[in-house]
């Protein structure tokens, strides 16, 4: 069962750059028989391993936007331990309730986007970068295709990364469901660039979240055999 959960995580992360943790945490609780704290920690570790592998595969494709990735990752890595400290002060009931609310919000946002803007999928899945229709966006590209980090763009990325890191430490989510829409909203990037950049950011933030959960969390024992099955399934799904 853990192998199947891992495959689901890898498939979702590989296809969309997001969504693995949102499925992993409830599946681990319901089918894996672990507590919410163990589920969050296992999810972060598995997602970190899978996204590191995915990022390594994308490294040679030149689809990773390193400048926004660095800003998102730095602020997210600083916020992840804060989310973990907040999680320590909440009961399991509140954590499960909060995670469920987050999952509902994600589902509603995706449903509204799919029903009101179906043409958006054609735009974001284009692998071609266009400088047209970029007016009003915080982050823009130069005529030579370089990502321009201006003050408003940097502040938007830093704030978005902070929110991703906070949610990662609190609920064990990688944050791709926020990173990709943020990149697509702030700049004229293609879907493949958003996904590749998201995987790098998720890998760094999830790794920090996992370390903070081990160092600061309430876990006395982490089932490493379960983690191994998750990672193997996740790598297979990502491939």
Q: Are 162 and 175 in contact (CB under 8 A)?
A: no
Closest CA to 38 of 221, 205, 229: 221
Q: In 81-182, which ranges are E strands?
A: 140-141, 147-148
Tens-binned pLDDT, residue by residue, of the chain (239 aa):
888 888 888 888 777 766 677 778 888 888 877 777 788 888 888 888 888 888 887 777 777 888 888 999 999 889 988 888 888 888 888 888 888 888 888 788 778 767 776 655 444 433 334 444 445 566 776 666 666 777 888 888 899 889 888 888 888 776 777 787 778 777 777 777 888 888 888 888 888 888 877 777 655 566 778 788 888 998 898 88
Give the separation between CA 210 and CA 230, rounded to whole angstroms.
Answer: 15
Q: What is the pLDDT of residue 136?
A: 52
Q: What is the dihedral of CA 149, 212, 9, 91, to 10 degrees?
A: -120
Provide the β-strand partners of residue 140.
148
Q: 220 by DSSP, 3-state: which?
A: coil
């Amino acid at each position: 069962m853990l192998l199947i959960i891992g495959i689901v995580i890898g498939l979702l992360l590989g296809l969309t750059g997001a969504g693995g943790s949102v499925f992993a945490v409830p599946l681990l609780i319901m089918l894996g028989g672990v507590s919410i704290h163990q589920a969050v920690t296992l999810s972060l570790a598995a997602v970190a391993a899978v996204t590191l592998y995915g990022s390594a595969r994308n490294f040679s494709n030149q689809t990773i936007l390193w400048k926004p990735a660095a800003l998102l990752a730095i602020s997210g890595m600083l916020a992840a331990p804060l989310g973990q400290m907040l999680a320590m002060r909440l009961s399991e009931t509140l954590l499960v309730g909060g995670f469920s609310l987050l999952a509902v919000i994600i589902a509603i946002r995706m449903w509204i986007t799919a029903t009101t803007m179906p043409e958006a999928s054609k735009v974001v899945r284009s692998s071609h970068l266009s400088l047209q229709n970029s007016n009003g966006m915080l982050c823009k590209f130069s005529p030579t295709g370089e990502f321009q980090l201006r003050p408003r763009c940097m502040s938007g990325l830093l704030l978005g990364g902070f929110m991703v890191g906070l949610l990662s430490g609190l609920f064990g989510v990688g944050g791709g469901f926020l990173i990709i829409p943020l990149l697509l909203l702030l700049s004229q990037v293609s879907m493949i660039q958003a996904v590749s950049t998201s995987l790098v950011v998720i890998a760094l933030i999830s790794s920090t979240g996992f370390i903070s959960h081990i160092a600061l969390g309430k876990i006395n024992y982490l089932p490493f055999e379960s983690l191994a099955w998750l990672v193997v399934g996740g790598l297979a799904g990502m491939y």
